[in-house]
Amino acid sequence: MKKMVKNIFKNFDYPLFVTYTLLCLFGLVMIYSASMVWAVEKLHAAPNYYFVRQLINLLIAFAAFFVVTAIPYQHYKKKKWYTIILFVTFALLLLVKVIGVAPGNSGAKSWISLGFMNVQPSEVAKLAFIIYFAGILKRKEEQKLLNSFTAGYLPPFLALGAAVILILGEPDFGNGMMVLCIALSVVVTSGIRPKTFFRIAAPLFALGAIFVVMVLKFPELFVSGKRIGRISAFLNPFEDEQNYGYQIVNGYYAIGAGGLKGVGLGNSVQKLGYLPEPQTDFIVPIIAEELGIIGVMIVLGGLFFLIARILIIGIRSSDSMARMICTGVATWIGLQTFVNIGGLAGLIPLTGVPIPFISYGGTSILLLSIALGVVANISKNVKSKHLKRQA
């Protein structure tokens, strides 16, 4: 046990861990503040209901972080490892079709209930495809197959396409597109030739453009009434303020009320029943109302520092697999932050994607913590090699 603990903290990346910990603890405080009224009035539970559940989620997530930090990341390029990861992911994506639940106001049956927590397979897919793509493309690099589209990239993209289709069918458009973009970011840093990347990306973007045009032309054929409402609310939320624009408009009110410094921790008005489940993807407006724009900028600053740290670790590594993993994890955090903030700011339609480390949720914090554990192990490896060179 002592040896394991010593191994974990040898060449440990403290800037990464401290930033991650502070973001999680800040999120825990804000979850308590945002959810206390909702817990009492809607669930008839104690004010600290969501706080306690998220605290348990965090303890599990921290344990997972340290366990994964001790596992050499090179294991993931073994076919056995990434095949098991891929198999489990597809099993969960298929299982959610049969026993999926839709907690709260989510609508989509995208979760599997384990009793003590709900697991969201699309969140598992984000990490799984980072590991899978990095592992299989590293093997293809060693086999000198990266310049071949058919032998190098077609097999993993067939798996990715199948997973994205399953996620879109839940329906979960936001996470489906995120899994696709995260996987593409891994491919970009794999050493792929521009010509080969164009052969992969061009059909995807063409299909995406056709889909968007068809949705705009015949929305009732492709999009549910709820999603049409979300799109119309995105275009003009004040026209449907009491229905689909309700969350966006009340989010605006919260941000406007907070101003620069906020109305004080715990003093939000919008959490008093105006914003449904404010501890989830709408926690940022509560932060803005209580702690002002300064509070939001502190959160974004912490997330940007974490992203930069992950990218620096990847750049410093001489291993292409390490770079691919770091790029994928940084893209995951950055893209999820943009999608959440962009939806709240009216830049893109709402997708229900939470802000990393801050929003309430067990699956999200657990999978992100595991991802950071892999990055922390890469950092240990980079530092170890650097010290050996100095010696």
Would you tell me how many other CB atoms lie within 10 Å of the CB of residue 127? 23
Residues 6+ apart with CB under 8 A from 187: 133, 137, 153, 197, 200
φ, ψ of residue 112 to 5 degrees: the values are -115, 120
Tell me the whole-structure pTM to 2 decimals.
0.90
Kind plus residue range of the DSSP H or E element containing 23: helix 14-43
Distance of alpha carbon 75 from its chain centroid, rounded?
23
pLDDT of residue 129: 96
The residue assigned the tokens 């329906």 is 171
Burial label, 1 (beta-carbon count in 10 A; 0-12, 13-18, 19+): exposed
| E-assigned strand segments in 22-129 | 112-113, 118-119
Going residue by residue through the chain (391 aa), what tens digit of pLDDT does each one get? Answer: 666 666 677 788 999 999 999 999 999 999 999 999 999 988 889 999 999 999 999 999 999 999 999 888 888 878 888 889 999 999 999 999 888 776 665 566 788 877 777 888 999 999 999 999 999 999 888 888 877 778 888 889 899 999 998 898 877 888 888 999 999 999 989 888 777 777 777 777 777 677 667 766 666 655 555 666 666 666 677 776 677 777 888 888 888 889 999 999 989 998 887 888 889 889 999 999 999 999 999 999 999 999 999 999 999 998 999 999 999 999 999 999 999 999 888 888 877 889 999 999 889 999 999 999 999 999 998 866 654 555 4
φ, ψ of residue 58 to 5 degrees: the values are -65, -40
